[in-house]
Chains A and B, each alone.
Chain A
């Protein structure tokens, strides 16, 4: 067993750290307050190659391994999860799905501009009445011979308005239930697509979250991903990888809050000494450290399994559930350590706490992860 990162993995980690600490930090609070999309930062993410870092260089991606991706996601999420979720969706859900299951023509046409960051993608699975129960898709994709006709509404879509490429999950054969579902590549500018106003969220306010409605949208037959009826399996397989991204995001939120807490505890004085010298605070920091280390190990294990071509669905579910839950614990304690300062925006930890909450909800709630884990261990 070797816990040492390669020279290249360390370089990627440092590159992500430099980007986050030099650039994202400058306006993260302001963007969060104004719910302002990080346009210039996303352009820089593209230039640096983070938006398609997992995609093979054959398709204009960075050709990096998943361990590097975990390291980069952690560093960016320490500062700004509104930016890291854009990176995660584009890499893990959109690019991964096309690279793993798309045809050569689909990869040439759709994957290359997404991997280079020239275009941004979105993954449209959740619906007003189908979140955790993703098999209950109401969005319909009627087979009309030459094309599919798409009708329905998708909810909570990250990159909903800024994406040029949508991967839409929809029901083609309702009688077959989840085995009748398909996944489609859809051009955002297709006629019949309407995007609702930006959701006014609790956290990750700078990311672009919308409902998207499809009204008689024609989708060419060649835009279907995989065989007829492969859509549900496609979504589940893709989400397995996505969970590594969100687990790493949760890990970054926790470690960002932890680093700020250590620094604060060494500077802030109470009762004649730095608060880090009070055991009540020192033990909190110790507990935070252990939880973060455990979460990091789970994320890296899932990433390593994926890189080795081994099954990683349960490992990524464990990483996502644990990292999200400890991110909530750690950020809550970070606010507590900061006291009143933790409750105001300029100290960042209240924002990290708001961001942490979402990691327990999206791309499979913590409860859904426990379903995945328990079903596997009890089968």
Chain B
């Protein structure tokens, strides 16, 4: 069984967000890049399955991105992925990313294709579903657990008020969320050393045109002052909500 984990290269979650070119582009100067946290959990689960079941032959990680993604892919190899593929294109929007990925995947043989439920930069939650549609594969979203039982894949997904458990034939696209794995791996020295020899292939893009054009970004308004009220004086709170905040 072969697993593909789709990886987005995103700014560290503590990055101070700034824009450039008249607020039309993200300013990536000095940014520390990381694996999208949801994708990292997907990769962690794939590694656990490989170690625990003995049924996984290989784990490949796939990214659409420019050279800046290589460090992120190399980390994925250091924690245990067997092979990395980078499609050499700037990720313009979800559709272009999913299309580039689909072009690569359709000529390969993967049983389980995993994506994070969203990426922590644009938070579109779109690539996974688009990818399944472009590949003509079934997909399940919001997966919080994934297990291999005999010859079937058993999934749990979070639904309103509870959980849903289902089995699914392979191949499929699994869109995972928190809970799929607990703690992302820290690369060990041995893994870092072995990653030197693992393949990181760079492929040419098919240059799919994006469907979305970003015209302008703006930062959310700064948080206002925090006001603390005496619990014995609820009237003051109500009074301010009414007269000052005007929300009553």
Residues 1-30 of chain A, each 1 if its beta carbon lies under 8 Å from chain B, else 0: 000000110111011001100100000000
The interface residues of chain A lying within 8 Å CB-to-CB of B193 are 57, 62-64
B94 at the binding interface (Cβ < 8 Å): no
The interface residues of chain A lying within 8 Å CB-to-CB of B188 are 15, 47-49
The interface residues of chain B lying within 8 Å CB-to-CB of A57 are 190, 193
Residues 53-85 of chain B, each 1 if its beta carbon lies under 8 Å from chain A, else 0: 000000000000000001100110010000000
CA distance A101 to B203 in the complex (A): 48
- Prevailing SS type, chain B contact patch: helix
A7 touching B187 in the complex, CB below 8 Å, given contacts A12-B192, A15-B192, A57-B193: no
A62 touching B189 in the complex, CB below 8 Å, given contacts A8-B196, A11-B78: yes
Q: Is the CB of B186 within 8 A of A11?
A: no
A19 touching B186 in the complex, CB below 8 Å, given contacts A7-B71, A8-B196: yes
A295 at the binding interface (Cβ < 8 Å): no
Q: Is the CB of B70 within 8 A of A48?
A: no
CA distance A61 to B192 in the complex (A): 12
CA distance A7 to B75 in the complex (A): 9
Q: Is the CB of A18 within 8 A of B186?
A: yes
CB distance from A288 to the nearest CB of B (A): 20
Residues 54-86 of chain A, each 1 if its beta carbon lies under 8 Å from chain B, else 0: 000100011110000000000000000000000
The interface residues of chain B lying within 8 Å CB-to-CB of A14 are 75
A326 at the binding interface (Cβ < 8 Å): no
Among A36-55, those with CB < 8 Å from B are 47-50, 52-53
CA distance A52 to B190 in the complex (A): 10
Residues 159-182 of chain B, each 1 if its beta carbon lies under 8 Å from chain A, else 0: 000000000000000000000000
CB distance from A137 to the nearest CB of B (A): 35
Q: Closest B-chain residue to A19, C-beta based?
A: B186
CA distance A64 to B196 in the complex (A): 12
CA distance A22 to B74 in the complex (A): 21
Q: Looking at the complex, which one of A7, A18, A62 makes contact with B70 (CB distance below 8 Å)?
A: A7
Q: Is the CB of B71 within 8 A of A50?
A: no
CB distance from B199 to the nearest CB of A (A): 16
CA distance A298 to B139 in the complex (A): 54
Q: What number of A residues sit within 8 Å (CB to CB) of B?
A: 21
The interface residues of chain B lying within 8 Å CB-to-CB of A48 are 186-189
Q: Is the CB of B189 within 8 A of A7?
A: no
The interface residues of chain A lying within 8 Å CB-to-CB of B186 are 15, 18-19, 22, 48
The interface residues of chain A lying within 8 Å CB-to-CB of B78 are 11
CA distance A19 to B74 in the complex (A): 18
Q: What number of B residues sit within 8 Å (CB to CB) of A?
A: 14
The interface residues of chain A lying within 8 Å CB-to-CB of B71 are 7, 10-11
CB distance from A78 to the nearest CB of B (A): 15
CA distance A50 to B190 in the complex (A): 10
Q: Closest A-chain residue to B194, C-beta based?
A: A57
CB distance from A344 to the nearest CB of B (A): 22
Q: Closest B-chain residue to A47, C-beta based?
A: B188
CB distance from B197 to the nearest CB of A (A): 12
CA distance A22 to B187 in the complex (A): 14
CB distance from B227 to the nearest CB of A (A): 14
CB distance from A274 to the nearest CB of B (A): 13
Q: Is the CB of B189 within 8 A of A11?
A: no
Q: Looking at the complex, which one of A11, A18, A19, A22 makes contact with B192 (CB distance below 8 Å)?
A: A11
The interface residues of chain A lying within 8 Å CB-to-CB of B70 are 7
Q: Is the CB of B189 within 8 A of A63?
A: yes
The interface residues of chain B lying within 8 Å CB-to-CB of A53 are 189
The interface residues of chain B lying within 8 Å CB-to-CB of A8 are 74, 192, 196
A64 touching B189 in the complex, CB below 8 Å, given contacts A7-B70, A8-B196: yes
CA distance A263 to B193 in the complex (A): 35
CB distance from A54 to the nearest CB of B (A): 10
The interface residues of chain B lying within 8 Å CB-to-CB of A10 are 71
The interface residues of chain A lying within 8 Å CB-to-CB of B190 are 49, 57, 62
With A19-B186, A22-B186 already in contact, 10 other A-B pairs whose C-beta atoms are closer than 8 Å: A7-B71, A8-B74, A11-B71, A11-B74, A12-B189, A14-B75, A15-B192, A22-B183, A47-B188, A48-B187
A-B contact pairs, 16 of them (CB 8 A): A7-B70, A7-B71, A7-B74, A8-B74, A8-B196, A14-B75, A47-B188, A48-B189, A49-B188, A53-B189, A57-B190, A57-B193, A62-B192, A63-B189, A64-B192, A64-B193
Residues of A within 8 A of B (CB): 7-8, 10-12, 14-15, 18-19, 22, 47-50, 52-53, 57, 61-64
Residues of B within 8 A of A (CB): 70-71, 74-75, 78, 183, 186-190, 192-193, 196
